[in-house]
Chain A
Amino acid sequence: MDHEREFKLIREFLDGSESAFNEIVRNYQKTIYWHARKMLGNHIDADDVTQEVIIILYRKLSSFKFNSSLSTWIYRITSNKCINHIRSQKVRRFFSIDDDEANELRENSDLINDVENKEKLELLDNVLQKLPAKQREVFILRNYKELSYEEISEISGKSVGGLKANYFHALRKVMELMENEKS
């Protein structure tokens, strides 16, 4: 969807059109979900973050400044939510708040039905979850969304040089992990 169409939908929503908001959600729900899914490594947490992000969109679209693209704005919100989620998970794990049942549910719930994609997703989770959150973020945005460093910089607020270094380390680690997985 081009920017003009997106901006038109936002204005319509701000004027009270709920169907305009539904269209925005329909356009971005998969993007949000998959970004969260790759960042968090399971469907349950990705679902939580996806819903949170859409609710934020509903409440904060009025503060959207029409000088950046909606996708950049949505990625920024999703990334921040994911990183906050990872931090809170670390705290929960440290204090052993998460029980085994919840962890089992996380491992067993998923959207993908076909075997091949399921295996790929499992491999992807194993590899990505071993990367530090910041490296994971830049790896996902560059490798899967094919965003430029400038766009990623706008989303993450990091310098382009820092992002390149992060991506370099992320790539190296992914290669090592893939070799280990193979062996």
Chain B
Amino acid sequence: MKNREIILKYLSDLMSEKERSDLEKRLDEDDNLKSELLLFQNKMNLLQIDENAVDDRYFSSLIPKIREKLDEKVSRPMYKLIFPLSGVVTTLLIFLIGFNNTKDIKEFDNYLISEDEFEIFSDESVSFMIESELAFNNSIREISRSDGYIDNNLINKISTSDSEIEMMELPVVDDYYIYNEIASDDLEEIYSNINEIDFFEGG
């Protein structure tokens, strides 16, 4: 075994008692081994530093610094609680909103109609519009009949397209409205017709 390995074993306390005493005996006799051990120790001394040759201001300021940190840490629990709490609340909110959204979507889904249903609905809407228009025309006829002033033929002359346009903002149907809706030529014809009627027929 090389001298270096022997010295390493010796310094690491990896030798038995017998090995140790043998080496110590050898050190007294073997100058090479002794000088090698000295060289070894010199190298180790190069790694020794004076731990007291330091800036003492660091150590004198250490306790106040620690006290400051300890005070900070004492006042921290509130912050420590706030962040996890806000995290939990946010997670809960996200979960609840998300949950409600899916519920809404499900509910909305229930309201959605199929294509067939849509066709039926649109047909019904169109027929409702037609019926409304017819009802409007009929109501005018009814009015004219009840008044006895307006001839059915004249009523039919009222432009249907005009009535269509004004269906959405239909004013209250009264005499004034009807007179306004009838063209002046038609009115003249109405008046002439009225004049021709013998109100006292058979009388």
Known contacts A30-B51, A178-B43, A178-B46, A51 near B65 by CB under 8 Å: yes
Known contacts A112-B53, A117-B53, A168 near B62 by CB under 8 Å: no
A residues less than 8 Å from B53 (CB atoms): 112-114, 117
Interface size on B, residues (CB 8 A): 29
Nearest to A160 among chain B residues (CB) is: B13
Q: How far is the CB of B57 from chain A (nearest CB, A)?
A: 9
Known contacts A33-B59, A164-B13, A172-B8, A121 near B49 by CB under 8 Å: yes
Interface size on A, residues (CB 8 A): 35
Question: Do residues A164 and B14 form an inter-chain contact, with CB atoms below 8 A?
Answer: yes
Asked if A133 lies at the interface with its beta carbon under 8 angstroms from chain B, I say: no
Asked if B76 lies at the interface with its beta carbon under 8 angstroms from chain A, I say: no
Q: Which of the residues A127, A168, A175 comes within 8 Å of B40, measured between beta carbons?
A: A175
Assuming A25-B63, A167-B12, A168-B9, what are 12 further A-B pairs, CB within 8 angstroms? Answer: A33-B59, A47-B58, A58-B70, A113-B53, A123-B47, A165-B12, A165-B14, A168-B12, A171-B8, A172-B4, A172-B8, A174-B44
List 23 contacting pairs A-B, 8 Å CB cutoff, sorted by A.
A25-B63, A26-B63, A30-B52, A34-B51, A55-B66, A55-B73, A111-B54, A111-B55, A112-B49, A114-B53, A117-B49, A120-B46, A120-B49, A121-B49, A123-B47, A127-B47, A143-B47, A149-B13, A164-B13, A168-B8, A174-B44, A175-B4, A178-B46
